[in-house]
Amino acid sequence: MRAIRRLMVRTVLPEPLAALGDLVTNLRWSWHQPTQELFSAVDPGLWDEVGHDPVRLLGEVTPERLAELAADPAFLGLVRATHDDLQNYLTEARWYQDADGRAPAGIAYFSPEFGITHVLPQYSGGLGILAGDHLKAASDLGVPIIGVGLLYRHGYFVQSLSREGWQQERYPVVDPDNLPLVRLREQDSRPAQITVGMPGGRTLTAAIWLAHVGRVPLLLLDSYIEDNGPAEREVTDRLYGGSREHRLLQEMLLGVGGVRAVRAYCRITGTPAPEVFHTNEGHAGFLGLERIRELVEERGLTYEAALEFTRAGTVFTTHTPVPAGIDRFPVDLVQRYFGGDNASGGLPIEQILALGGEDYEGGDPAVFNMAVMGLRLAARANGVSTLHGEVSRGMFAGLWPSFDEREVPIGSITNGVHAPTWVAPEFLRLEEKAIAGGGWKSATTTVSDRDIWTTKRQLRERLVDGARARLRASWEGRGASEAELGWIDDALDPDILTVGFARRVPSYKRLTLMLRDPDRLKALLLHPERPVQIVIAGKAHPADDGGKRLIQEMVRFADDPEVRHRIVFLPDYGIGMAQELYPGCDVWLNNPLRPYEACGTSGMKAALNAGLNLSIRDGWWDEWFDGTNGWDIPSAEGVADPDHRDDLEATAMYELFENEVAPRFYDVDADDIPRRWVEMLRHTLTSLGPRVQATRMVREYVDQLYRPAAVSSRALNADFHGAASLADWKERVREAWPQVGVDHVESTTVDTFERGQTLRLHAFVSLGPLTPGDVDVQVVHGPVDDNDTLREPAATAMAVSEEYGDGRCRFDGEVHLDRTGAFGYTVRIVPRHELLGDGAELGLAALPG
Ligand SMILES: *Cc1c(COP(=O)(O)O)cnc(C)c1O
């Protein structure tokens, strides 16, 4: 029988316990151990039963128990103290409140996924976890961020295994009424909604759910509402599923609808409008189109001026060098959704298509590229590690053809992780006790070897217990009978060197590299004195059969009775499992195909839990491996045959385990402590501890991107006069550019060049209708290769010395010859304007001949 109506019956908390409700709806509990302990005290057995989900806890606790607690002065005191602590956390001045007045009044942060806690399954992997950590660190620092995302009614998927080891996917319904979310409501308490126009006169409407991530509001758009037709209702069905068209609809809702949700939130709560909009990967890029539309239709700007203003206040972060990770839509699909009867007056479809067009060498004219649009709609862009910044500059260099790769305006900020979320409470306590003295350095020197080592043993044991339970559940799901599962009680061992490998399963991460030589791996696992055990987890994208085959290969190996007590695959990797896994592992293994791992963050979490990284030098590890804080697997990059490359890298990995890792781990003294291993842990904590934190990352975003973006958008904002004049100037420069050129260059004549000399140059240039103030004339110089190509060119400005009329001028400059060897130079003209973010911004440069 089906019910005709569905109601949510909520627990009514007795008045003395009302504060518990606030503690549940603010997600600070997810990284605040004392609040979790308070929840546990409500009913310890039930707390475990409901999987540490406080909403379910309060939903299922008996009224008798609540009445008992409401009369317990000790419990009430604890509730009050925890609630006061939260109120302080939410209101006291923090780092940002000391920042100068140039910092933005608000920042809107858009992401297709957010990984905040295991009870909000709205993420698939690293991108979402990073977004969650970004919001949490922003909250800790007092940064006024508003998060914007979608609420997927089936989240990502729940992973299990078939008997044969094939990945199975389940999509349980996520009911927002059972989540720590509240509806955003208008003052008259009607639910707030936003709409996005669709072709054919239809509309897509979404409700707005609000999660409180400490001080940071997170707005989640939800299309499952009665006002929508059946098709529109399905838009927020699941994360990263469905057709291209479905994906486009999700991204329209996220980008366009997201801006409208931010406007509604600010209006209802009286929050200042964000001055900066940050798009975490290209998926939310349509937010720029909506901001342009607002300025044209509501403020009367021209399209060009609106584009300038939008660009100035937008930050774009690219997250992957893997082409498949970049969203590309057929041009006609974008045309159908943003053109025709759904076109908006202020935003001609031709302009939109131009923004995402791959109109560069090697581009595909039939494709609309979200990353390309992201770069064109944001004056500031970055990759997520130093190496990834470099790789991204190469990848997108086609957009700036007149410039050297190094000059491509994409910088980098290396990712970080939110320590209170990821560090085991036992370690946090150890570290806090010692940190009270003064910083990481002291923390890692004053804690004794014994304390570190016994804590690590404890955490390894917890991992082993948890892994056995997961293994048992997995085997039961695979159809094994209880009688077959006795071996699980002895699977894994809390005193054996424990290696972790858990992450999504795209091919570049090479889940199965360790299986390259199965006998050698077996020998490692079964070594009589120095055995190794490996815990593995990871989900393959539901449409990725290649990834599922890798999982199956891994599972089959781990099913072998000879090794199954030493190597396990745990299904359904997620935040909850990750929080057990990192602290329990001694070594965190990462073997991606360099340079496809843009940053990688799981190794950072392992490091903060006194785990040692053993990794290919890719992403963050390329930057911060220092020779003694872990191990690097030498990359065989450049070996063209992928099989041969895998062989070389796998062999190097086995050798490290055999010759360095295992011998050091088992080299214990009379007190049973491996001193040299603990020494490496200490060094890992001191060298990486402060750097891998998300607070360091968010401070860099504020200082390097958010503040400069706010400053330049304010400069354009005096009645938008600045934006209009910058747009006019750009148009004038683009029109004049064919007349701009370097006519000829003279240098001081010397016969021999010696190091230490200065070369004086005169450049005779034509500027057409432009003035010397509109341009930078530069000497571009540096070492040259055999083809006279400048390697690592540097640019030095020249100064105007004479004007001859008709736009012809002479510029003078100098180059200091500060190194020996083949050297070359050229002269280049680029546009210059005080409001222009970067010399390469227009992509225009004039060179001799
Ligand atoms: C940290 C984390 C990731 C990201 O791991 P990478 O090493 O960056 O791939 C993915 N999933 C979960 C659950 C995580 O905690």
Rounded to an integer, the average pLDDT of 162-182 is 94
841 lies in some domain: no
For residue 755, report the phi and psi dihedrals to the nearest 5 degrees.
Answer: -60, 140
Same domain? For 792 and 815 the reply is yes
| pLDDT (0 to 100) of residue 821 | 85
What's the CA-to-centroid distance between 133 and ligand 1, angstroms?
A: 11
How confident is the model over 72-110, as pLDDT tens digits? 999 999 999 999 999 999 999 999 998 777 899 999 999
Rounded to an integer, the average pLDDT of 592-608 is 96
Q: Can you give the CATH number for the domain in which 462 is found? A: 3.40.50.2000
842 lies in some domain: no
Give yes or no for a contact between 89 and 122, defined as CB atoms under 8 angstroms apart: no
How confident is the model over 747-790, as pLDDT tens digits? 876 667 788 888 899 999 999 999 999 999 999 998 888 888 88
Q: Which atom of ligand 1 is nearest to the CA of 603?
A: 7
Same domain? For 297 and 190 the reply is yes
For the chain, percent helix, then strand, then coil, each to nearest 5? 45, 20, 35
Give yes or no for a contact between 793 and 781, defined as CB atoms under 8 angstroms apart: yes
Rounded to an integer, the average pLDDT of 333-341 is 96
199 lies in some domain: yes
How confident is the model over 712-722, as pLDDT tens digits? 999 998 788 88
Nearest CA to ligand 1 atom 11: 125
Nearest CA to ligand 1 atom 4: 126
Same domain? For 350 and 458 the reply is no
Q: Domain ends where: 40, 60, 91?
A: 91
What's the CA-to-centroid distance between 587 and ligand 1, angstroms?
A: 15
Q: Which atom of ligand 1 is nearest to the CA of 574?
A: 13
788 lies in some domain: yes
pTM of the full structure:
0.94
Q: Are strands 587-590 and 497-502 parallel, antiparallel or unpaired?
A: parallel
Q: Which atom of ligand 1 is nearest to the CA of 417?
A: 1
Cα→Cα distances 598→322, 614, 617, Å: 9, 17, 11
Give yes or no for a contact between 124 and 88, defined as CB atoms under 8 angstroms apart: no
Rounded to an integer, the average pLDDT of 125-151 is 98
pLDDT surpassing 60 at residue 649: yes
| pLDDT (0 to 100) of residue 34 | 96
Q: Tokens for 569?
A: 């695959």
Rounded to an integer, the average pLDDT of 213-222 is 98
Name the pLDDT band for 367 (thresholds 50, 70, 90). very high
| pLDDT (0 to 100) of residue 338 | 97
Name the pLDDT band for 214 (thresholds 50, 70, 90). very high
Name the amino acid, one letter, at 211.
A
Nearest CA to ligand 1 atom 9: 503
Name the pLDDT band for 443 (thresholds 50, 70, 90). low
What's the CA-to-centroid distance between 726 and ligand 1, angstroms?
A: 42
301 lies in some domain: yes
Name the amino acid, one letter, at 198.
M
Compute the distance between CA of residue 20 and CA of residue 94 in angstroms, rounded to an integer: 25
Nearest CA to ligand 1 atom 7: 602
Q: How far is CA 431 from the centre of its chain?
A: 26
849 lies in some domain: no
What's the CA-to-centroid distance between 147 and ligand 1, angstroms?
A: 20
Give yes or no for a contact between 127 and 322, defined as CB atoms under 8 angstroms apart: no
| pLDDT (0 to 100) of residue 10 | 66
Domain extent for 762: 735-831
What's the CA-to-centroid distance between 226 and ligand 1, angstroms?
A: 36
Q: Are strands 216-222 and 497-502 parallel, antiparallel or unpaired?
A: unpaired
Same domain? For 65 and 143 the reply is no
**What is the overall mean pLDDT for the chain?**
94
Same domain? For 809 and 705 the reply is no
Same domain? For 759 and 707 the reply is no
How confident is the model over 783-812, as pLDDT tens digits? 888 888 888 888 999 999 999 989 999 999
pLDDT surpassing 60 at residue 437: no
What's the CA-to-centroid distance between 707 and ligand 1, angstroms?
A: 29
843 lies in some domain: no
Name the pLDDT band for 11 (thresholds 50, 70, 90). confident
How confident is the model over 480-497, as pLDDT tens digits? 999 999 999 999 999 999
Q: Which atom of ligand 1 is nearest to the CA of 422?
A: 15
840 lies in some domain: no
Same domain? For 58 and 121 the reply is no
How confident is the model over 281-317, as pLDDT tens digits? 999 999 999 999 999 999 999 999 999 999 999 999 9
What's the CA-to-centroid distance between 602 and ligand 1, angstroms?
A: 5
Rounded to an integer, the average pLDDT of 31-42 is 97
Mutate-to-test residue for ligand 1 from 114, 118, 119, 129, highest number of ligand atoms within 8 A of CB:
129
Tally of domains within the chain = 4
Q: Which atom of ligand 1 is nearest to the CA of 582?
A: 15
Q: Can you give the CATH number for the domain in which 756 is found? A: 2.60.40
Through-space distance between the first and last CA atoms of the chain, rounded to whole angstroms: 82
Compute the distance between CA of residue 304 and CA of residue 282 in angstroms, rounded to an integer: 22
Same domain? For 320 and 448 the reply is no
426: left (phi over 0), alpha (psi -120 to 50) or beta: alpha
Compute the distance between CA of residue 733 and CA of residue 724 in angstroms, rounded to an integer: 14
Q: Which atom of ligand 1 is nearest to the CA of 599?
A: 8
What's the CA-to-centroid distance between 503 and ligand 1, angstroms?
A: 5
pLDDT surpassing 70 at residue 577: yes
DSSP-derived secondary structure for 105-168: S-EEEE-S-----TTS----SHHHHHHHHHHHHHHHHT--EEEEEE--TT-S-EEEE-TTS-EE
What's the CA-to-centroid distance between 825 and ligand 1, angstroms?
A: 46
DSSP-derived secondary structure for 646-713: HHHHHHHHHHHIIIIIHHHHT---TTS--HHHHHHHHHHHHHHTTTTBHHHHHHHIIIIIIHHHHHHH
What's the CA-to-centroid distance between 337 and ligand 1, angstroms?
A: 34
Instruction: Give percent above pLDDT 70 in the chain.
Output: 97
Same domain? For 292 and 335 the reply is yes
User: From the CB of residue 243, how many other CB atoms can be counted at a distance below 10 Å?
Assistant: 9
Compute the distance between CA of residue 326 and CA of residue 281 in angstroms, rounded to an integer: 9
Ligand 1 lining (C-beta closer than 6 Å):
125-126, 129, 503, 573-575, 578, 600-602, 605
Q: Which residue has the tokens 């759910």?
A: 209
What's the CA-to-centroid distance between 601 and ligand 1, angstroms?
A: 6
Nearest CA to ligand 1 atom 5: 602
Nearest CA to ligand 1 atom 3: 126
Q: Which atom of ligand 1 is nearest to the CA of 577?
A: 13
pLDDT surpassing 80 at residue 578: yes
Q: CA 403, 406, 411, 412 torsion: positive or negative?
A: positive
What's the CA-to-centroid distance between 684 and ligand 1, angstroms?
A: 20
Same domain? For 662 and 559 the reply is yes
DSSP-derived secondary structure for 366-428: TEEEHHHHHHHH-SEEEESSHHHHHHHHHHTGGGSTTS-GGGSS-EE----B-HHHHS-HHHH
Mutate-to-test residue for ligand 1 from 601, 609, 614, 618, highest number of ligand atoms within 8 A of CB:
601
Same domain? For 173 and 240 the reply is yes
Name the amino acid, one letter, at 216.
V
Name the pLDDT band for 433 (thresholds 50, 70, 90). low
Same domain? For 284 and 399 the reply is yes
